[in-house]
Structure 1
Amino acid sequence: MAKASSRAPVLGPAYIRLLARFSAADLPRTPPALTEQLAHWFDWNRAIALSRALDTCAPAATEAAFDAAEAAECARQRGVLQAAIDADIDLSPPRRRDAATGIDPGYRPYRQHCLATQQAMQATTGRLRGRLRDLLATQSPAKARLAEVDAVMDATLSPREQSLLATVPALLGQHYLRLREAGTPDPPRTPGADAPDDSPAAPDAGPWLARFRQDMRTALLAELELRFHPIDGLLAALRTR
């Protein structure tokens, strides 16, 4: 039976608390203040660019009406990504050699699914965000300024975001191994027999695996929600008169 965790609960957004549950490391009880983190992420070049975007008067823009088809396309793309998260995972050995070392063979298909889904989310949301920003810049001077601010924030924060999200497959791998170890009973042993050396890995089946698959799905859906936050904000700005 798995031991109950004695770790103090981690405060913060739901996605952070979810990832903290997958990690064996002791994380700080209280996350650092957002302003403190931003001070580390903004170098002086980015700070100047943000200040210029906030202070500069944008040129007059044509009051273009918001096309509801853009929102529909964002919703469609989001549905495609969610369908990819929910799709069956190919458990056959990967066709191309995975350069990563130290990955449990049973976890490799899930890792590949996670990586492919993350890459698709990054590409799709980046394209949609750029498209909506271009549309926002055509509506009014105030909205053009907002589009410029979003561009600076995107260029500044996205690399850091990608770096942090790149740790998710490893956290899920740790979670996979812990669930398998806790959920798979030791094989029966004949009295007096020596313990076998290099015992084969436990079969990937059982309630623990169903729980892992659901946890991985929950994590990827939470990441999808996170990646769509800027897009939802731009859509809201486009709808505002």
Structure 2
Amino acid sequence: MAKASPRAPVLGPAFIRLLARFGDADLPRTPPVLTERLAQWFDWNRAITLSRALDNRLPDAGAGADFDATHDAECARVRHGLLDAIDADIDLTPPRRKDAGVAAIDPGFLPYRQHCLAMQRAMQAATGQLRGRLRDMLARQSPAKARLAEVDAVMEATLSPREQALLAIVPGLLGQHFQRLRDAGAPDTSADADTSDNDTPATPAGPWLARFRQDMRSALLAELEIRFHPIDGLLAALRTR
């Protein structure tokens, strides 16, 4: 009997490798060239705006409070708060309202989907606010750093919509992963499964569910790291004198 050829390892950040595994997808061995991919995301209006930010004369640095350890600690506090929220207990109560999109989702996965969506919203809001504040402080340090802040603003306006569209597929991939793990590891309880008041069958627990919860946690942690990449870059620039 011929053996199935092993899947080629997926290259790239941990988040991309996780999503490829959740979606059972074969990704190209060679990742796309960054400049080519960016060219697909920039329309000519954004390209002109970025060119102006890079080529125009250095903007004047503004006036305001200097960056200090207090601001650094605030970024760490926000990050740790999001980490704690990712690790918090998940409310397994089924949602009371179910729209047309939710009706097609596995009922056992719904609480985890709600947790994932809530965490994505919290990460987007928190990191967006931090990024704006750090950029304002950077623009006040020197003309060169004011240019860097201007470039970051253009990059955020250009890439964030694309980033949010890509991150929006994460709950769906987690749902597929949940289904595969459950089908492979859960016993057949179709005849005697407990039901709740809304006739939703309870999801049987087992090692597969512990694995799924850990995988979802890993995905959220990896997404948090990606969302903090621009913030870490701004912090590094602010600390440089």
TM > 0.5: yes
Scaled by the length of structure 2, the TM-score of the pair is 0.88
Is the 1:180–1:202 contact (alpha carbons within 8 Å) kept by the matching residues of 2? no
**TM-score using structure 1 length:** 0.88
Given that residues 89 and 113 in structure 1 are in contact (C-alpha distance below 8 angstroms), is that contact kept between their aligned partners in structure 2?
A: yes
Closer/same/farther in 2, CA of residues 201 and 25 from structure 1, 3 Å limit:
farther
Would the aligned equivalents of 2:59 and 2:147 in 1 still touch at CA under 8 Å? no
Shift of 1:31: 2.0
The residue type paired with residue 212 of structure 2 is F
1:89 matched residue in structure 2: 90
User: Structure 1: which 5+ runs fail to align?
Assistant: 190-199
CA 1:36/1:121 → structure 2, altered by over 3 Å: closer, same or farther?
Answer: same
**2:19 maps to amino acid:** L
Q: Say whether 1:117 aligns with 2:119.
A: yes
Give me the whole-angstrom Cα distance separating, in 1, the residues matched to 2:97 and 2:74.
33
* Paired letter, 1:72: A
For structure 2, the residue ranges without an aligned partner over 5 or more in a row are 192-199
AA of the residue aligned to 1:167: I
**Which runs of structure 2 are paired with 1:1-241 in the superposition (5 Å)?**
6-61=6-61, 65-100=66-101, 101-186=103-188, 203-241=203-241
SS in 2 for 1:139: coil
The one-letter code of the counterpart of 1:149 is V
After superposition, give the CA deviation of every residue in 1:213-235 in whole Å (9 maximum; x if it has no partner): 00000000000011001001001
| Identity across matched positions, percent | 77
Q: 1:98 deviation in Å?
A: 4.1
Q: Cα RMSD (Å) of the superposition?
A: 2.1
Aligned partners of 1:21 and 1:142: how far apart in 2?
A: 42
> Is this contact kept in 2: 1:49–1:152, CA < 8 A?
yes
- The 2-side partners of 1:220 and 1:129 are apart by 19
| 8 A contact 2:108–2:202 mirrored in 1 | no
